[in-house]
A = this chain, B = another copy of it.
Amino acid sequence: MGIAERKDRQRADRERRIVAVARVIAESEGWNAVTIRRLADEIEHSQPVLYSHFDNRDAIVAAVALEGFRDINVALREAARGSTGRNAIKNVATAYLGFALRNPALYEAMFILPTELRFAEAGTRPELRAGFEALAAVVTPFCVDVEVATETFWAALHGLVELERSGRIRPGARSERIALIVRTIVVSGK
C-alpha cells in the first residue's frame, strides 16, 4: 500500500513549497514581509499547518538558510574549478561576495537572522561545514595552520559583504579590497 508513501511525498512537497515561498518573499520584499499568515495564504492552507512542519518562524528562516549554505557551496566550488593557487583564492573570494550581494535576503538568513543553526557544536549539519571546506580547499596550499587561515579568510569575506551591504564602504573599490585579502593568505603561512 503506497498510500502512506504518497502522503509523505505530499507533505514533503508542501514543506518545500513553504521554504521556497519564504525565500521568494524574503528576497523581493524583505524578511519582515515573511509572516506566517502570508505564507499560509500563499500555500493555500491555514496557519496551523505551518506549525505541523516547523516549530516556529525561526525554523522556517533556518530552512531557507540551509538552502543558502547548499547553494553557496556549489557557487564556491564552481568558482574554484579550473584555477589554482593564488588565482583560485581570488576567484573564490569574488564568487563569495557576488553570491552574497546577489542574494541579500538569503545571506541574511544564513548569517544575520537568529536561527538555531550552530557550527562549532557536535551536531553540526554537513551543509554548514561544506562551504567552510570549499574555502579551506583553496587556502590550504598557502599556509601551515589551515583552520586559522580559513577562519580569517572567511571572516574577511563576511566583513566585506556586510559593510558593503550596509553602505559603509565604497562599492567601487571591491576588487582592490579582495586583492588585499588574497595577499593576506598568500603571504601569510607556508
Distance, CA A152 to CA B176, complexed state (A): 9
Q: Are B160 and A176 in contact (CB under 8 A)?
A: no
Tally A residues with Cβ within 8 Å of B.
35
Q: Chain A 158-180 against B: per-residue CB contact (8 Å), 1 yes, 0 no?
A: 11101100111110010011001
State how many copies of this chain the complex holds.
2
Chain A binding site: helix, strand, loop or mixed by DSSP? Answer: helix
Residues of B within 8 A of A54 (CB): none
Residues of B within 8 A of A162 (CB): 111, 155, 158-159, 162
Contacts A148-B180, A176-B148, A184-B184 given; indicate if A159 touches B168 (C-beta within 8 A): no
**A157 interface neighbour in B159, B168, B173, Cβ under 8 Å:** B159
Q: Are B148 and A158 in contact (CB under 8 A)?
A: no
Distance, CA A162 to CA B108, complexed state (A): 13
Q: Are B176 and A183 in contact (CB under 8 A)?
A: no
A112 CB within 8 Å of chain B:
yes
A-B pairs with beta carbons under 8 Å apart, 7 shown: A120-B169, A151-B163, A151-B173, A154-B163, A162-B162, A180-B188, A183-B187
